[in-house]
Amino acid sequence: MSTSNQSHEMSQHGSKASASTSEGKRKNQKTSRKAVYKRYNTLGQSSGSPALGHPQSGARKSLKDMTKAERRALQEQKVLEKQDRKAAGLPSSAKKASEQEAHRKVASPKIGSTANTPQSPAPDAEKQAKKQQKRLNEVPWLSHLDPPKKPNTASNTNKDLHPAVLALGLRFAEHKMVGSNARCVAMLMTFAKIIQDHKPPSDASFSRHIQKYLDPHIAYLLSVRPMSLSMRECIRWLKKEISEIVEEDPPLTDESARNRLVERIEYFIKERITVADRLIVENGMQKIQNGDVILTYAKSSVVEALLLEAKRSGYEFRVVVVDSRPMFEGKHLLRRLVSAGIDCTYVLLSSIYVVLKDVTKVILGAHALLNNGAVYSRIGTAMVAMAASDKQIPVMVCCETYKFVNRTQVDSLVLNEMGNPDELVVKKSNDENSSNSLTNWRDVPNLRLLNLHYDVTPSKHITLVVTEVGLIPCTSAPVIWREYNEEFRKGVQAK
Amino acid sequence: MVLSKALEAHVESFISRLKRRQIVGSYEVAKETAIILRQVVSTTRWSDATVLIQIIKDLGRRLSAAQPKELAVGNIVRRVLKIIKEVVRGELETDDIMNSGTSEESDDGFSDDDEEDNEEDSDREFKSILAQDTNDNADHTNDAIPARPKLQTESSMFNLLVDQHSDNVDYSAKSYGMKPLIIQEINEEIIADLETVYKGIADQALEHIHANEVIMTIGYSRTVKDFLTKAALKRNFQVIVAETSPTLQGQEMAAALAAVGIETTVITDSAVYAVMSRVNKVVIGAHAVLANGGLVAVTGSQMVAAAAKHHATPVLVCTALYKLSPLFPYDIDLFNVCVTPDQVLSFSEGTLIDKADVQNPYYDFVAPEFVNLFVHNLGSAPPSYVYRLINDNYDSEDTIL
């Protein structure tokens, strides 16, 4: 069989050219065989290989149609390409190399510079490629988490996406928009806009096509920054809504389906976020008295609203804002509180025990409330809650019910988000000898930087949770989740 | 009490550097204090021990007042005072034994004999007490003759708990061999000891670190760095360093450890509780150890120790004995110093710094219940044993300088 001979010859060539480990040889054989079959089966263009001087530059001739000479020329060209790729330190398969190219364009410039020097011999380049992979700050016990991502604005797969989503993704990636409420609301409103603008293709109805249309947008948002737990809950809810529309009998018209979805999204935002926040503030105000010294950590939109409302109602209290590197979110909260005229103290997390002497209560925000009553929140919250509960200071968590999720975590490492490790390195741009001890940390083989975003506070540190349905102990979270999901579903069906 | 001009200049320069926090860190401060005190002993004119003790006390008061949070100053002064008193006691005993019989000082007789015998021992504090015990019992039977005060039977047990000899020694006795002895003792006991402190602690590293362990530390402590470096020669383990904002000492520590070849991970302070479930041991350094076993350490240490306690992770504190202070933390704020708030909320934030109260404490107080073990240059001790170490190193009269 000509094809099998072909593949055999190619693999032999491939293995001779690589001079790498046996694993690499096997990989080469496998991928070259795959490449052959791919070309044989489809007429699609394979990336990276230029036209063969063929009159038709668009489509490529299948191997069967080529003469033997042409086939040999194709082989040799592939071998040369492979050698070039190896010398440049990229993995030897064409598919992986193109993937990495896309990655490399936005990855650290160091790797890019080594890729531009193809003079290094083949085995060295292979080792370098492996080392580069490792150098991307892989903390071994967190290798199950996604490494920090960068938005892939260069790729042309994004041209099918709605521009609002692209803008939103960039804002998430650059941390211009942080905080679970803000991100959730922004995401839902963007989806509402997408749904509004969407015109389904002529062969599909709106209700059936909208799901497929939204999926790449969701995937894009996932690729720029891992979803917050509450965002995932919202998306789950949205998908449920969409599937319910599809099941409507008689089927809805496009216009009415669109309007209904947009309406439902707006209702969700209003009911479970905006009005919920107002109710939380009302419920939380019961717990604030004159003379209180309230400690809060980082910046939570609900806690901010609560404190501002308390000031407006005329209570006399002090606030201690505790902040931490590298995000310094507490500073924004401090600014807002100070401009409202609240007496504030500002410290960093490491000095919390010094200020805890005067504190009467601690109010924290949450990112999500887990099924076992633990709070999934900004990293450092667990420390604050632990310190306060050790001193018998009550810890209140303000959390809307849409943030109650149906999953459990017993430690903070199983599911988390890793941020950009370079944020830990302080850049003193004014100083001449600005070299911090970590400026070239990537060069040091044993050094890794870890920038986690979230942690889990066990329920034993938390006194109570303020939600829009009232003040509950944190262990009642799964009950609320169940009630709310059933009731909400019933409410929708009744409509 | 008048010091020579050169010495006075030296003292003044030291005091102003202490005040401006240009000299920070117990090791540097201790060394310089010891050198100054040695010079004082050698250059000032004193006729008997009382005068010398007074000079040292006054100078010690001046130095501690310059920077009360640098407890190492006071510690070294108290060590020197104890050395003086012991040397004097030793001299007087040799004089007594040579000049008179044992009848008058029968009370001191047997115990002082032991003191004299054990004077040259390095662990004289421990051995003298033990020797006392055996000799007490031995002499009991021998001296069961009357003319001994009734207190004798009680004092033999009492001696185990309290250093009673200070009442019976007359420091105003003149002895001319004391000066070189005192200077020699200061050199050996204090200054030379300071040099070997790091080695003494590092040598115990292998007893406390097992293979494939994950150790957490915070701040930059030379003691801990030497401890871990020594262990890394024989064992394979990983270190997680909390970066200790706002000074970011932890980052320097991580760079130093990684340079030695230890696998290091730098985390933010906020991540300490989150990663604590992964950690097998916490090793921290101390700025000072207080009389109840608590410590004054870099800010963030209490946080790390509390998180470790919640996860039942043992906490080791590597500290040298010169950091041991006989003061009690009646008010924990007394030992803390607040440095510039610029590091917390920088001046570039504008008018915000006027409206908010910004604090930047440099130290943290860690209560003794959070510490499992003190690893010091002469061995290791749990926090409950610290009072004993203090008794051995300092005289109870000198607690207030």
Of B262, B266, B358, the CB nearest to A450: B266
Q: Which residue of B has its CA nearest to A140?
A: B265
For A462-475, the pLDDT digits (tens) are 999 999 999 999 88
- Name the nearest CA neighbour of A467 among A343, A281, A231, A335: A281
For A233-281, the pLDDT digits (tens) are 888 888 888 888 878 777 777 788 888 888 989 999 998 889 999 999 9
Give yes or no: residues B19 and B131 share one domain.
Answer: yes
Q: Which residue of B has its CA nearest to A347?
A: B359
B299 touches A: beta carbon within 8 Å: yes
What band does B309 get if pLDDT is binned at 50, 70 and 90?
Answer: very high
Euclidean distance between CA atoms A66 and B379, whole angstroms: 82
CATH number at residue B343: 3.40.50.10470
Distance in Å, alpha carbon of A349 to nearest chain B alpha carbon: 7
- Name the nearest CA neighbour of B84 among B192, B178, B173, B189: B178
**Contact predicate B371/B377, CB 8 Å:** no
Last residue of a domain, one of B199, B220, B238: B199
Give yes or no: residues B126 and B69 share one domain.
Answer: yes
Last residue of a domain, one of A61, A87, A113: A87
Residues of B in contact with A411 (CB under 8 A): 274, 277
With a CB cutoff of 8 Å and minimum separation 6, the contacts of A30 are none
CA distances from B130 to A397, A484, B164 (A): 58, 73, 15
Give yes or no: residues A248 and A377 share one domain.
Answer: no
What's the structural domain count of chain A? 3
Last residue of a domain, one of B184, B199, B214: B199
Average pLDDT over residues B354-359: 88
Residues of A in contact with B278 (CB under 8 A): 141, 413
Average pLDDT over residues A405-423: 87
CA distances from B78 to B44, B319, B348 (A): 19, 18, 45
Distance in Å, alpha carbon of B370 to nearest chain A alpha carbon: 12
Strand order in the sheet with B363-366: B288-289, B295-298, B363-366
Give yes or no: residues A334 and A257 share one domain.
Answer: no
Query: Domain containing B337: what range?
Result: 204-398
Residues of A in contact with B344 (CB under 8 A): 346-348
The answer to whether A345 contacts B344, with C-beta atoms less than 8 Å apart, is no
- Name the nearest CA neighbour of B129 among B152, B93, B102, B162: B162
Give yes or no: residues B56 and B33 share one domain.
Answer: yes
Give yes or no: residues B315 and B276 share one domain.
Answer: yes
With a CB cutoff of 8 Å and minimum separation 6, the contacts of B303 are A349, A350, A352, A353, A383, A387, B269, B272, B364
- Say yes or no: ipTM exceeds 0.95: no
Q: Mutate one of A139, A323, A339, A351 to test the B interface: name it (highest B CB count within 10 A).
A: A351
Average pLDDT over residues B281-292: 93
Token readout for B304 is 């790390």
Give yes or no: residues A340 and A463 share one domain.
Answer: yes
The answer to whether A338 contacts B252, with C-beta atoms less than 8 Å apart, is no
What's the structural domain count of chain B? 2
Give yes or no: residues B352 and B251 share one domain.
Answer: yes
Treating both helix axes as pointing N-terminal to C-terminal, what angle do A330-339 and A301-312 enclose, rounded to 10 degrees? 20
Token readout for A367 is 């990112």
B244 touches A: beta carbon within 8 Å: yes
Give yes or no: residues B298 and B329 share one domain.
Answer: yes
Cα A323 from chain centre: 23
Residues of B in contact with A322 (CB under 8 A): none
Dihedrals φ, ψ of B358, to 5°? -110, 130
What band does B137 get if pLDDT is binned at 50, 70 and 90?
Answer: very low
Give yes or no: residues B243 and B378 share one domain.
Answer: yes
Give yes or no: residues B139 and B225 share one domain.
Answer: no
Euclidean distance between CA atoms A233 and A376, whole angstroms: 14
> What percent of chain B is predicted at pLDDT more than 70?
79
A106 touches B: beta carbon within 8 Å: no
**Is residue A44 a part of any domain in this protein?**
yes
Judged by average pLDDT, the poorest of A83-97, A441-455, B32-46, B221-235 is A83-97
**Is residue A108 a part of any domain in this protein?**
no
Distance in Å, alpha carbon of B122 to nearest chain A alpha carbon: 40
Query: Domain containing A177: what range?
Result: 163-277
Would the pLDDT of B42 be above 70? yes
* CA torsion angle B29 B33 B36 B40 (round to 10): 170
Euclidean distance between CA atoms B270 and B255, whole angstroms: 20
* Rg of chain B over all Cα atoms, to the nearest angstrom: 24
Average pLDDT over residues B19-31: 86
CATH number at residue A368: 3.40.50.10470
Q: Which residue of A has its CA nearest to B273?
A: A383
> What percent of chain A is predicted at pLDDT more than 90?
28
B369 touches A: beta carbon within 8 Å: no
Give yes or no: residues B82 and B231 share one domain.
Answer: no
Euclidean distance between CA atoms A323 and A308, whole angstroms: 19
**Is residue A392 a part of any domain in this protein?**
yes
**By three-state DSSP, how is residue B344 classified?**
coil
Would the pLDDT of A21 be above 70? no
Would the pLDDT of A56 be above 50? no
- Name the nearest CA neighbour of B286 among B191, B220, B242: B220
Average pLDDT over residues B47-54: 85
Give yes or no: residues A246 and A350 share one domain.
Answer: no
Arithmetic mean of pLDDT over chain B: 81
Average pLDDT over residues B281-295: 92
- Amino acid at residue number A372: N
Euclidean distance between CA atoms B38 and B32, whole angstroms: 10
Would the pLDDT of B383 be above 80? yes
Give yes or no: residues A372 and A424 share one domain.
Answer: yes
For B340-350, the pLDDT digits (tens) are 888 888 888 78
With a CB cutoff of 8 Å and minimum separation 6, the contacts of A475 are A372, A373, A459
What band does A88 get if pLDDT is binned at 50, 70 and 90?
Answer: low
Residues of B in contact with A386 (CB under 8 A): 273, 306-307, 310
Last residue of a domain, one of B143, B168, B199: B199
Query: What is the model's pTM?
Result: 0.74
